[in-house]
Structure 1
Amino acid sequence: MKKSIMTVLMILFISSVNFASEDLQVLDIYDYELVDNNIDPFFKAVIKGDLETVAKMIEDGSDVNLRIGGKTPLMYAARYNRADVIRLLVGKGAVVGAKDNQGNTAMKLAELANAKEAMEVLKEMS
């Protein structure tokens, strides 16, 4: 009986280790490591705060008011405290008062994230 219980416990332990070792698709706001390959490149550049790439992609035709998951690039820039990207997006026609599927604006998302620079820039540009 002891051997059966030990065998079952070992199988459970080994299988849980296998599940825990699988790669997770994570967006980490601290190291900005974006491992999800399904993210639109324009949104990825906005989240990273890559101003040059964002400017180039807008120049090449990326829509500053495109919505993915109900959110615009401006909302992501606000959420991740990307003040320079916010200025660029608004300067290129991003709608500051747009709301996501939950009714949040870029300002609200900045407030929720405590993104102080983003809040200041959004106040200036509203």
Structure 2
Amino acid sequence: MSHYPFDESYDSYRTVDLHSRAAAASPYELVLQLFDGLLDEMARARGHIQARRYQQKGQSLEKCLQILNGLNGALDHDNGGEVVQGLARLYDYCIYRISDVSVTLSLEGLDEVTGLLGVLREGWEGVNANRR
């Protein structure tokens, strides 16, 4: 399936907008932006699975895995204690489930991960609000 010119223009606009927002963001806001992008991509992957667009599903899930790996890699294991260990286990679980969904096409599995990530995002939003 070919991209329409609008799709490419919109993707370019989103990329420029994301770069400008990221440049002005605090570390907490940056994590929130990553979660927003991750949750958007999860929704996109769900739509691809439902529409049987398997190539696009694979691309969306790969983006999700990259974001999760980035979030996992950014954890401060030396100073984070139990909270960081818990987050690392949760990120690893989400990575495992997304990899499974890529093969099984399980919408339930995708919804489970989306729910977990939504709760994590709310937690980060609370941390960001409390620092102000």
Give TM-score, length-normalised by structure 1.
0.26
More helix by share: 2
The structure with the largest alpha-carbon Rg is: 1
Larger relative contact order (Cα-Cα within 8 Å, sequence gap ≥ 6): 2
